[in-house]
Amino acid sequence: MVELSRGSDGAFRELFDTYYKDLVLFAGTYIRDLAACEDIVQQQFVNLWEKRGEAGVILSLKSFLLKSVQNACLSELRHLGHENKYAEWMAETPTIYARETEEYIFYSELQELLQEALEHLTPIQRKCFEMNRLQGVKQQQIAEELNVSLRTVELRTAEALKILRSYLKHYFSLVIFFLQL
């Protein structure tokens, strides 16, 4: 943030590279036109660059960018003549709408934290965990594909879960909180 507020091209490029794809996907939940989504996201980065001197007061850059993209998408929908559909939709689901944005931000941050946690696993632990828990592959099939015993797959998956639980323990209470909303 400090580097961005000082006008660092490198800091801006890093932010752009980090968030661009995710923001375009997020915009796609509102607008089904990829080119329009890309234009909206690019414009939000232009706005951020133009107001980079104020970047130091932003508490969460990711939340700021998501909210900016969301507002720009809704503005675009209104501009395209969907005012009535938008108004009806907002009248019917205002709390669900707000919650979806919060959940998206939370999910995105949780994904980043999970990726960081996965870096702490050995290659075999990570492979077993990802195949079993993220891809839904049965442990017997993993053992066959990796040419190891079923017991090895069971142990490495259990070890991975233990490490991940430890690494993500401070985040667990937030997961529970969001599940209760």
Q: What is the pLDDT of residue 178?
A: 44
Residue 91 C-beta-side C-alpha neighbours within 13 Å: 6
Same-domain check for residues 79 and 119: no
Q: What is the pLDDT of residue 65?
A: 86
Q: How far apart are CA 60 and CA 107, in angstroms?
A: 15
The domain in which residue 130 lies consists of 115-181
From 92, 123, 155, the end of a domain falls on 92
Same-domain check for residues 73 and 123: no
The three-class DSSP label of residue 31 is coil
Q: Per the domain annotation, does 75 fall within a domain?
A: yes
Q: What is the pLDDT of residue 141?
A: 95
Split into its structural domains, the chain has a count of: 2
Whole-prediction pTM value? 0.46
Same-domain check for residues 88 and 4: yes
Q: Per the domain annotation, does 110 fall within a domain?
A: no
Q: Per the domain annotation, does 103 fall within a domain?
A: no
Cβ(73)–Cβ(40) under 8 Å?
yes
Q: How far apart are CA 11 and CA 2, in angstroms?
A: 9
Same-domain check for residues 87 and 13: yes
Residue stretches of the chain with pLDDT short of 70: 1-8, 52-59, 81-109, 170-181
Length of the chain: 181
Calculate the average pLDDT of the chain: 77
Q: Per the domain annotation, does 127 fall within a domain?
A: yes
Q: Per the domain annotation, does 66 fall within a domain?
A: yes
Same-domain check for residues 57 and 119: no
Q: What is the pLDDT of residue 176?
A: 45
Q: What is the pLDDT of residue 159?
A: 92
- CATH code (residue 65): 1.10.1740
Give the angle 170-172-178 at the CA atoms, nearest 5°.
Answer: 125
Q: What is the pLDDT of residue 91?
A: 58
